[in-house]
Amino acid sequence: MPSRLDRGLAWVRENRWFAGVFLLGAALRGLAVIGYQPALWFPDTYTYVVTAIRPRPDLVRPAGYSFFLRLFEPFHSFGLVVVVQHLMGLAVAAMVYGAIRRKVLGVVAAAVVLLDAYQIQLEHLLVSDTLFLFLVVAATVLALRPPTWRRALGIGLLLAAATVTRTVGLPLIVVFLVLYGWRARRLAGIFAVGALVPVVAYAAWFHATHDRVGLVGANGAFLYVRVMPFAECQVMKPPADLAVLCDDRDPRPPAQDYVWDETSPLVRLPGETFTAANDALAQRFAVLAITRQPGDYLAVVARDLVRAFEPGRPVYPNAEVYAAYEFPQAVPAEPQTRDTLGIELARRYENGPISTQVIEPVAGWLRNYQSVLALPGPLLLLVLLCPVIAVRRSDVLIPWAVAWALLVVPAATAVFDYRYVLPAAPLAFLAAALALSSATSVKCK
């Protein structure tokens, strides 16, 4: 009887192309761990750390990633956190490859995760996106397998975890409820229980803490951000209480500034930006702008959606945000944030300094690699259009619809951000590979 080692070597021989690309992806992640120690920081990181050390639902970001950070807090190492995130990236590639019957297509789809420099950099950032990607891909791949009640429950739980990690997971529950429910009607109730019970429990915790309904308290504020590139008060004719949110500057600042910059009409309102009153006011203003200027709203959503497919990855929304998604040549000696509590608790988490050390020449190798190899936007669009040939198949439709939802929902409810594109890419390639496998099988028959 062959040993585990023999079976493992046999599998590698049978899947040598995937094994080779996988090892290359692992090596690139090893360079990131060596070149940027212990991790790369993002403005959102400090909020996640505060919630991890002092558990309390945040008004802007759900606490799923903070729960993840808390798991590793006893080790006092952000470096360990990013190593686990890199392992998650490798696991995503393995799941995608395993779900595709044709090995060549599987290698191509997995390579999107394994070799994309921006994916590797995102895994090295202390943000929620890698955890979210892992949970959504795991749910999608599980949904492709023959339905059972255990799998239906597992899919629901994975999507619930994704939802309390990033709120864009909530519409994904609806997508799965329709498409997976269509595929496994008798199991739709079990799936719904797995998906909704944890989300409702989190919402109850949020309500008990903030006396507000929801998972976060910033939906109105970010919808306000969405409409401000086009909202014209002369067209909207808002009532007096909403008119305070009008902005007649020309040109207007980047959309993101309307929720963070001190010059924003929303930020200038009395109290904190995300109070219940301010968020409700922002939501009413945004809904009025959408209903009075629906064509402008659709145009700005379409424009942001197109950004995901543009060649050359143009700088957007500004150089500072764009640079946050690239391996840096140098980093500030001290964290660049006004969140002093976040800095204090991050140092407690690490049990030491939290500044990032850039180790050359390894870091330079990664910067050069990132300047050459990344997923082209036009290719992503082509891949997203490919599954149309087999869109009636439920196993194709699920990853295809989830990929589009991950792109459309942020563009429709907040703003475009390059890091929001990365979770959609492996699902788009998974759907395309399944569609091409289907088309080839039909042709062969």
* CA distances for 289 relative to 99, 279, 296, 306, angstroms: 43, 15, 9, 22
Q: What is the DSSP string of 164-226?
A: TT-TTHHHHHHHHHHHHHHHSGGGHHHHHHHHHHHHHHHHHHHHHHHS-SSS-S-HHHHHHHH
Q: At which residue do the structure tokens 């429990």 appear?
A: 201
**73 backbone φψ class: left, alpha, beta (φ>0; ψ -120 to 50):** alpha
d(CA 47, CA 63): 9
d(CA 44, CA 133): 17
Residue 441 has a pLDDT of 47
Residue 393 has a pLDDT of 63
Residue 332 has a pLDDT of 73
Answer whether 112's CB lies under 8 Å from 373's CB.
no
pLDDT at 395 over 80: no
Radius of gyration of the chain measured on its C-alpha atoms: 22
Nearest of 38, 35, 36, 137 to residue 81 by alpha carbon = 38
Answer whether 160's CB lies under 8 Å from 196's CB.
yes
What residue type is assigned to position 420 of the chain? Answer: Y
pLDDT at 59 over 60: yes
> Which tokens belong to 304?
């942001």
Q: pLDDT band at 11, cuts 50/70/90?
A: low
Sign, Cα dihedral of 292, 296, 298, 300 = negative
Answer whether 299's CB lies under 8 Å from 365's CB.
no
What residue type is assigned to position 314 of the chain? Answer: P
pLDDT tens string 321-347 = 888 899 999 887 666 667 788 889 999
Q: Name which residue leads in pLDDT, 251 or 291.
A: 291
Residue 443 has a pLDDT of 42
Residue 232 has a pLDDT of 93
* CA distances for 22 relative to 11, 79, 83, angstroms: 13, 22, 16
Helical spans, DSSP H, in 212-293: 219-227, 233-236, 240-243, 257-260, 276-292
What's the pTM?
A: 0.93
Q: At which residue do the structure tokens 């909020």 appear?
A: 47
User: Could you tell me where the beta strands, DSSP code E, fall in 299-407?
Assistant: 357-358
pLDDT tens string 138-186 = 999 999 999 999 999 999 999 999 999 999 999 999 999 998 887 778 8
Angle of helix 149-163 relative to helix 129-143, nearest 10 degrees, comes to 160
pLDDT tens string 192-242 = 999 999 999 999 999 999 999 999 999 999 999 999 999 999 999 999 999
The arithmetic mean of pLDDT across residues 248-265, rounded, is 88
- 3 state DSSP class of 384: helix
Nearest of 129, 127, 146 to residue 69 by alpha carbon = 127
d(CA 267, CA 221): 10
The arithmetic mean of pLDDT across residues 365-373, rounded, is 92
> Which tokens belong to 9?
């070597």
